Every structure is written in structure tokens, then in C-alpha cells.
Amino acid sequence: MKGGLLLYVFERHLIWVLLAVLALFGLTVQGFTNPQNLLNVLWAAAPLGCMVLGLFLVLLIKEVDLSLESTFAFGPTVAIVAMQNWLPDLIGPVTAAILTPIIGLVVGGAAGLFAVTLRVNAFLVTLATLLLMRGVVIWLIPEGIYYLPSEYTYLGEQRFFGIPIAIFVWLALYLVAYALIERHRLGKEIYAIGNNEEAAFVAGVKVKRTKILCFAIAGFAAALGGMLEVGRLQSVVADLGQGSILMVFAGTILGGTSLSGGVGRLSGVFGAVIVIAVIENLMNLIGIEPSIRQMVFGLVLLVAIWLASLQDRIALRAAR
């Protein structure tokens, strides 16, 4: 009985156990339990959480999207440059805010369309789009853009009853994703494709359409996260989100999502994002040097990979 309970916790709720351990450690760190600090942890987690959600969907269909970190910067950059330089009379701050995730939707869908219809490895396609979009961002805003209109930065900057609105946006995004994955036919199709694409096709699932849709939603979520980060920083710079794809992978894998497709829980990746944000916050409070932090997150990624592999083996053994 005890062994079965431990296996259940390890397979389904390990991330929350890790979060509880971190919280207990945080009790020994001065300032961690301050309500404002905890809100800041969630505020910083929101942009990353958007990207993690996008990668989660793509990994479920047994694909990969490296370009999310560039979409994170590309969406806000193009919308802001269009607002300020290209079409200032037509595109105001509110319109630019609406356009930002739509731009992500389009570039994500385009990458998915290219990979799926031409049967090109998505890893290579999204690697190319990562470089392409980052190059465009650097070309458009080499020195960054500051002092943005408050209407554009509203969702990422403002608070509602003292709570950053970005947190509400992040939660709303995950609630919509939960409805699609757990309560809608689309979720069943996504898991079916990840487990056995050929069987899903025979069962009547429109595999290509569903895959492209997952890439498009991932782009939408990444660009939305970028807009939240721009609001939090009140600026957009050329290196926005650069290198963050590693932490996105860490969060997704640590949350129990399998690289082999078809396995993963939304609650797991949600918890993993909080775990990563808490780790970063604790290192800030303790005063750990940036070089050491990089090593810590490298270890987090290694642990995430090991845990994911261990969970796969346990699940396979339980199935037998």
C-alpha cells in the first residue's frame, strides 16, 4: 500500500513535493515569506509560464519548438515598432497589445506549417526561425525601446488590488489550456498523436491540422509572455528572452512532460514554473553570483531530465 502511494506521488505529484521542500528551505531565508516577495516570485514566473505552456503542447505531439524564446521578443518588437514607426496613425498602444500575441500565433503557425506539410524536422525548422527572428529583432531595435505607453504595458506592469495583473493573465491562460486539453476533443487528439500518430490518423484525427494548431498556440503563448515581460521591465530590448529556451525546457521536463510525446500534465508544468521562479528568487535573496546561478540551473535541467527518464521507466513498469 505504501509502495503504491509512493509511486503515485512520484508519478503525479513529485513537483509539488519539490515545491514544498523549497518552501521549507525558504523559511530560513530572510525576506522570502514576505507577501510582496511571494507576489514578485509569481510576477516573474508569469512570462516564463507562458512559454512553458507553449512548449508543453508541442512536446505532447512529439515535436519540439526552439523558436519560442525568439517569438517571446519578436511579437512585442514588431508590434511596438509598427506602433511607433511604421503605422503610428493606424496602430495605437491598445491595438499593438492585441497584435502582439497574434504575431506570435502567425509565426508559430507558419513554422508548424513548414515543418508538418513539408515533413521537415521541427527541431531544424524552429532553430532556423529562432535565428531569423532574433536577427530581425536586433536589426529593428539594436538599442532597445524605452518609455513605452502605459496602455501597452498595462497587463505586465499594473496591479489589481495589489496583485500584478500579469499573474491573472497567466492563470487565465492556463485555465483556457486546461479546458482545451482536459475537457475538449482537441486534448484527446493531442495525446493520441503523441502516443501513436499513425493510430490517431486511422482513428480519424486530423493530424496535420492539430500539429500546426499546437505550434500556433505555442507562438501565441510565447508572444503573450513577451508582452508581459516588456510590461514588467517597461522596455523592449534586443536580447529579451535570449537563452531562456533552456529554462523553458527545464520547466516542461521537470513538470513531468515526456520528450517522447503523449505524456504530461498541465498541473505539473504549472508547478515546475513556480519551482524555477522560487529557486531563482532564493538565489537572489541569498546573494549567489550570476555565474553560480547558471550552474545551479544547469543542475536543475539535469535533474529534470533524470526525473523524466525515471518517471517514464516507472510508468512503463506499472503498465506491465
Rounded Cα distance, 170 and 167, in Å: 5
User: Hey, what long-range contacts does 274-277 have (CB within 8 A, 24 or more apart)?
Assistant: 274/19, 274/41, 274/42, 274/45, 275/15, 275/18, 275/19, 275/22, 275/251, 276/45, 276/48, 276/247, 276/250, 276/251, 276/300, 277/41, 277/42, 277/44, 277/45, 277/48
The runs of H, that is alpha helices, within 31-184 are: 35-60, 68-81, 93-117, 122-140, 150-157, 165-182
Q: What is the DSSP letter of 163?
A: E
Taking CA atoms, 34 is separated from 27, 130, 158, in Å, by: 10, 38, 20
Domain boundaries, the chain: 16-312
The pTM score is 0.92
Per-residue pLDDT of the chain (320 residues; tens, 9 = 90+): 444 544 455 555 678 888 898 899 999 999 999 999 999 999 999 999 999 999 999 999 999 999 999 999 999 999 999 999 999 999 999 999 999 999 999 999 999 999 999 999 999 999 999 999 999 999 999 989 998 999 999 999 999 999 999 999 999 999 999 999 988 899 999 999 999 999 999 999 999 999 999 999 999 999 999 999 999 999 999 999 998 998 899 889 888 888 888 888 899 999 999 999 999 999 999 988 887 887 887 887 787 777 767 766 666 665 55
Residue type, 250: A
Q: What is the pLDDT of residue 69?
A: 95
Rounded Cα distance, 110 and 208, in Å: 13
Q: Is CATH 2.40.128 what the domain over 16-312 is classified as, yes or no?
A: no
Q: What is the pLDDT of residue 293?
A: 81
| pLDDT per position as a tens digit, 43-77 | 999 999 999 999 999 999 999 999 999 999 999 99
